[in-house]
């Protein structure tokens, strides 16, 4: 029977292998540590939940350079487990053949990691970390087209914004827009801390059939600097189980679908 100490030591060695090699495989680790592949997969899940690696098909890789920026790295670790669950649940809203817009924000990165399951999909984004994420995944021999919207660099979110980005996005049509927001207020609407991000998000809303907001429960009843849109322009909210019942009820009363991850 495995002891807690053995498990912790094994996970520490897995991280050492990752640091040295950049990638590890479930089958190799199972043989090395003489444990089942199920145990190794569980190790990788736990380490991913702590933000220490990224699971891939058959193994895991190190965290990408996108997170080397101290501010971005710190923000993605906030409510990390909730963001992971939200991203994994939100991917169920995508269908093969869809044209999907992914906004900027750390809650959208876990969603991007799940897109390797699709064989025919087009992703449009102005987020550099998401492009970096998508460039490192395989979509099982299928066709994933990634369109990077150009513009002026916003260093805080590592995204491209401004008139060029808005003009490009305004000429497209997409099935679903996924937004990560700074605040959601049932009366005032949804908010971004950056005015250029809010402006580009409004363009994305106008060219999308459906607007899905990904937000952990800490974002509710908050406002930020720039208003993105009114709450009635949102079709779906994906959040975590800690959302207050009265807020959930309020969203549903407005005709918004609430999905708990």
In DSSP notation, 117-174 reads G-SEEEEEE-BHHHHHHHHT---TTSEEEEEEPP-EEETTTTEEESHHHHHHHHT--E
Residues 51, 81 share a domain: no
pLDDT tens for 198-218 read 999 999 999 999 999 999 999
Same domain, 127 and 220: yes
Alpha-carbon gap, residue 212 to 130, rounded angstroms: 17
- As a whole number of angstroms, the distance between CA 64 and CA 16 comes to 16
Is residue 216 located within the same domain as residue 138? Answer: yes
pTM, two decimal places: 0.74
Q: Are residues 173 and 148 in the same domain?
A: yes
Structure tokens belonging to residue 203: 């363009």
Buried b (16+ CB within 10 A) or exposed e, 16-36: ebbeeeeebebeebbeebebe
Domain end residue (candidates: 61, 81, 105): 61
What integer pLDDT is reported at residue 259 of this predicted model? Answer: 97
Q: Are 18 and 60 in contact (CB under 8 A)?
A: yes
Segments forming the whole domain that contains residue 17: 4-61
Residue 169 CB neighbour total at 10 angstroms? 24
pLDDT of 189 strictly over 90: yes
pLDDT tops 50 at residue 65: no
Q: What is the pLDDT of residue 67?
A: 42
Query: Do residues 179 and 169 lie in contact, with contact meaning Cβ atoms separated by under 8 Å?
Result: no
Q: How many domains does the chain have?
A: 2
Tell me, yes or no, whether 169 and 208 share the same domain. yes
Q: Pick the last residue of a domain from 44, 61, 78.
A: 61
Shared-domain flag, residues 42 and 145: no
**Residues 144 and 28 reside in one and the same domain:** no
| pLDDT tens track for 96-141 | 999 999 999 888 988 998 898 898 999 999 999 899 888 877 666 6
pLDDT of 76 higher than 70: no
160 lies in the same domain as 219: yes
Are 12 and 111 contained in the same domain? Answer: no
Q: What is the mean pLDDT of residues 31-56?
A: 85
Residue 36 and residue 79 in one domain: no
Beta carbons within 8 Å of 159's beta carbon, 6+ residues apart: 104, 126, 127, 128, 153, 197
CATH code assigned at 89:
3.40.50.1360
β 120-125/143-148 pair status: parallel
- CA distances (Å), 1 to each of 35, 36, 39, 141, 159, in order? 10, 12, 12, 40, 48
Tell which wins on pLDDT, 12 or 246: 246
Pick the last residue of a domain from 18, 46, 61. 61
Residue 123 sits in the same domain as residue 35? no
CATH number at 35 reads: 1.10.10.10
Contact 213, 186 (CB under 8 A): no
Is the domain of 91 the same as that of 120?
yes
């Amino acid at each position: 029977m495995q002891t807690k100490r053995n498990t912790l030591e094994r996970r520490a060695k897995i991280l050492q292998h990752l640091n040295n090699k950049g990638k590890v495989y479930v089958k190799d680790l199972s043989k090395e540590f003489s444990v089942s592949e199920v145990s190794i997969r569980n190790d990788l899940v736990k380490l991913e939940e702590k933000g220490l690696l990224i699971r891939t098909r058959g193994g895991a890789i190190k965290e990408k350079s996108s997170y080397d920026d101290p501010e971005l790295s710190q923000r993605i670790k906030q409510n990390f487990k909730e963001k992971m669950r939200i991203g994994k649940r939100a991917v169920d809203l995508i269908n093969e053949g869809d044209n999907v817009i992914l906004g900027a924000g750390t809650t959208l990165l876990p969603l991007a990691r799940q897109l390797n399951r699709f064989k025919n999909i087009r992703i449009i984004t102005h987020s550099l970390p998401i492009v970096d994420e998508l460039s490192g995944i395989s979509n099982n021999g299928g066709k994933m087209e990634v369109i990077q919207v150009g513009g002026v660099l916003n260093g805080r979110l590592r995204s491209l914004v401004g008139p060029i980005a808005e003009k490009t996005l305004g000429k497209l049509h997409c099935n679903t827009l996924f937004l990560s927001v700074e605040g959601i207020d049932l009366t005032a609407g949804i908010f971004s801390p950056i005015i250029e991000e809010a402006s580009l998000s409004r363009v994305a809303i106008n060219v999308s059939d459906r607007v899905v907001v990904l937000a952990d429960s800490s974002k509710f009843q908050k406002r930020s600097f720039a208003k993105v849109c009114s709450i009635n322009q949102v079709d779906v909210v994906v959040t975590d189980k800690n959302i207050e019942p009265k807020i959930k009820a309020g969203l549903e009363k407005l005709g918004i679908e609430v999905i708990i991850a």
